[in-house]
């Protein structure tokens, strides 16, 4: 394993190799990376355990798996405090677009102008920098989902969904009230004590297994794990069944089509039920692939049906691309796989986009200031980094890299599923955004733990799924390393 000094020189080498193109793409993206995982200690090792004791003295740290050495981590490899180099196929819960210490991102801070952007962090809703409109138009709107002309920047995925729900409620009430109709005195007074008509009885429809965040409002639409929701008051909002398909998909088309139809019929019925209760559904919130809830994908037909139902009832369709946005499914936005006849009303993002926010249609823009507002409204520093990420994605054709590596991963997982049918099942996903099921939560947790012991950082989701979430620079050779180690783990499973 490289020493810290050697690691620094590797980063320099990584920088020098960066200008190479096309045929040398695989070489320059791996320059300086370990050739494979290096495991020196148990994981977590002695130093991680010492640090965990320190951290636990001041906060609840039971979720911490290890402590990282981010100076020595590089590319697709996460180095921990004990010097173990792990092939990271989880990447900070799907949030590292270019892996660790990518040279193009490091160079962002070589520019003094960019440093001042980081130091002088503005309240963007009131005092944006003079370059802010140009940055939005030249960076974020360049990757806007087709047909979505408006953008609201935020800090994280939860607050993006939280505020997007407000946009949907505001639009729905404007439709009910009529355009350019002022608020009544009753509305102005009653909202101050959380009563109707100012605080209307409206709802957002979500799905069993969904995860949209942990803040108060979006928590009412999160249904993945009880630990997220216990003891916290929630809205009585409709929850529909999300499709649960049989795999492999190509062998179960009739059954899965019927599953889509059942779920869509339930969505339609819930709209009617909640209207009768006097709590209209103002919007649908849905992930293209339910991530935290178990990597459950929805078909194009399912999402096309959702859009029809939403529009029929005057509700907005929000597609939550916090995990799937930014390229991991082989397209920049996962909903591009669905051939929707018109754009979604709202698309939220975070994670691989490095900042939060949402694109939306013009009719969801409030016509008054401060209705969707907070102090920071995003972070210009993250936009600077995103600018470089997008340049690298285009320059190095990373969406094609994702598709190629994803094809190796998918075929490899299907092969392991056939070789170990008593352990693995239901390989699924798009691009490198993949998952496979274990027979039980206990077996899943054991497999993830033993992968880590052999130098692979993976993650779980749902009841018993292992999820794969590598960086966009994860290539075919990395896929083979992962699959070889996974096969060793499976062979040793009793």
pLDDT, residue 26, reads: 45
What integer pLDDT is reported at residue 138 of this predicted model?
95
pTM of the full structure:
0.93
Closest by Cα among 219, 222, 263, 218 to 240: 263
**Residue 190: exposure state from Cβ atoms within 10 A (0-12, 13-18, ≥19):** middle
Instruction: Return the beta strands (E) in 178-298 as ranges.
Output: 202-207, 239-240, 280-286, 289-290, 296-297
Rounded to whole angstroms, the Cα distance separating 161 from 391 reads: 27
Closest by CA position to 464, among listed 295, 252, 259: 295
Report d(CA 58, CA 101) in Å as an integer.
29
User: Which H or E run includes 134?
Assistant: helix 132-135
Residues 241, 446, 351, 479, CA torsion sign: negative
pLDDT at 32: 87
Q: Could you give the residue numbers annotated as active site?
A: 211, 320, 351, 375
Sheet holding 356-360: strands in order across?
150-154, 356-360, 346-349, 316-320, 280-286, 202-207, 239-240
What separation in angstroms does the CA of 327 have from each of 91, 96, 337?
A: 14, 11, 12
- Helix H segments across 202-329? 216-219, 253-276, 300-312
Residue 29 has what pLDDT?
Answer: 53
List per-residue pLDDT tens for the chain, 494 residues long: 333 333 333 334 333 333 333 333 444 455 789 999 999 999 999 999 999 999 999 999 999 999 999 999 999 999 999 999 999 999 999 999 999 999 999 999 999 999 999 999 999 999 999 999 999 999 999 999 999 999 999 999 999 999 999 999 999 999 999 888 999 999 999 999 999 999 999 999 999 999 999 999 999 999 999 999 999 999 999 999 999 999 999 999 999 999 999 999 999 999 999 999 999 999 999 999 999 999 999 999 999 999 999 999 999 999 999 999 999 999 999 999 999 999 999 999 999 999 999 999 999 999 999 999 999 999 999 999 999 999 999 999 999 999 999 999 999 999 999 999 999 999 999 999 999 999 999 999 999 999 999 999 999 999 999 999 999 999 999 999 999 999 999 999 98
- Phi and psi at 284, nearest 5°, equal -110, 135
Cβ atoms 67, 80 nearer than 8 A: yes
Q: Is cis: bond before 80, omega within 30 of 0?
A: no
Q: CA distances (Å), 84 to each of 36, 406, 466, in order? A: 11, 26, 22
């Amino acid at each position: 394993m490289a020493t810290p000094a050697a690691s620094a020189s590797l980063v320099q080498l990584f920088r020098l190799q960066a200008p190479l193109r096309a045929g040398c793409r695989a070489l320059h993206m791996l320059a300086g990376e370990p050739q494979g995982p290096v495991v020196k200690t148990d994981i977590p090792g002695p130093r991680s355990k010492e640090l965990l004791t320190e951290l636990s003295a001041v906060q609840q740290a039971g979720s911490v798996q290890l402590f990282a050495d981010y100076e020595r981590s590089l590319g697709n490899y996460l180095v921990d405090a004990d010097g173990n180099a792990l092939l990271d196929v989880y990447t900070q819960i799907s949030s590292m677009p270019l892996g660790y210490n990518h040279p193009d991102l490091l160079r962002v801070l070589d520019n003094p102008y960019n440093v001042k952007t980081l130091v002088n962090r503005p309240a963007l809703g009131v005092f944006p920098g003079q370059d802010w409109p140009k940055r939005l138009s030249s960076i974020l709107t360049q990757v806007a989902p087709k047909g979505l002309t408006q953008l609201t920047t935020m800090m994280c995925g939860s607050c993006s969904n939280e505020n997007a729900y407000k946009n949907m409620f505001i639009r729905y009430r404007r439709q009910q009230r009529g355009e350019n109709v002022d608020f009544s005195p009753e509305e102005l007074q009653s909202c101050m004590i959380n009563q109707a008509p100012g605080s209307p009885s409206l709802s957002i429809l979500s799905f069993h297994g969904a995860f949209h965040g942990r803040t108060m409002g979006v928590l009412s639409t999160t249904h993945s794990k009880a630990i997220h929701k216990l003891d916290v008051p929630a809205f009585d909002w409709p929850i529909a069944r999300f499709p649960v398909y049989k795999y492999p998909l190509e062998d179960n088309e009739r059954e899965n089509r019927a599953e889509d139809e059942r779920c869509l019929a339930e969505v339609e019925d819930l709209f009617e039920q909640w209207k009768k209760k006097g709590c209209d559904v103002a919007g649908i919130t849905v992930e293209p692939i339910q991530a935290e809830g178990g990597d459950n994908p929805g078909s194009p037909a399912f999402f096309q049906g959702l859009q029809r139902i939403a529009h029929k009832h005057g509700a907005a369709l929000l597609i939550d691309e916090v995990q799937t946005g930014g390229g991991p499914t082989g397209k920049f936005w996962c909903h591009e796989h669905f051939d929707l006849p018109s754009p979604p009303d709202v698309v939220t993002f975070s994670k691989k986009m490095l900042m939060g926010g949402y694109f939306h249609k013009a009719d969801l823009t409030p016509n008054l200031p401060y209705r969707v507002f907070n102090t920071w409204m995003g972070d210009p520093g993250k936009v600077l980094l995103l600018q470089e990420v997008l340049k690298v994605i285009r320059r190095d054709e990373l969406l094609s890299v994702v598709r190629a590596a994803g094809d190796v991963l998918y075929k490899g997982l299907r092969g392991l599923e056939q070789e170990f049918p008593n352990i693995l099942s239901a390989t699924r996903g798009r691009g490198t955004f993949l998952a496979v099921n274990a027979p039980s939560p206990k077996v899943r947790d054991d497999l993830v733990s033993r992968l880590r012991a052999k130098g692979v950082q993976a993650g779980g989701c749902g009841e018993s799924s292992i999820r794969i979430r590598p960086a966009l620079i994860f290539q075919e050779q990395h896929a083979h390393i992962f699959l070889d180690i996974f096969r060793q783990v499976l062979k040793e499973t009793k």
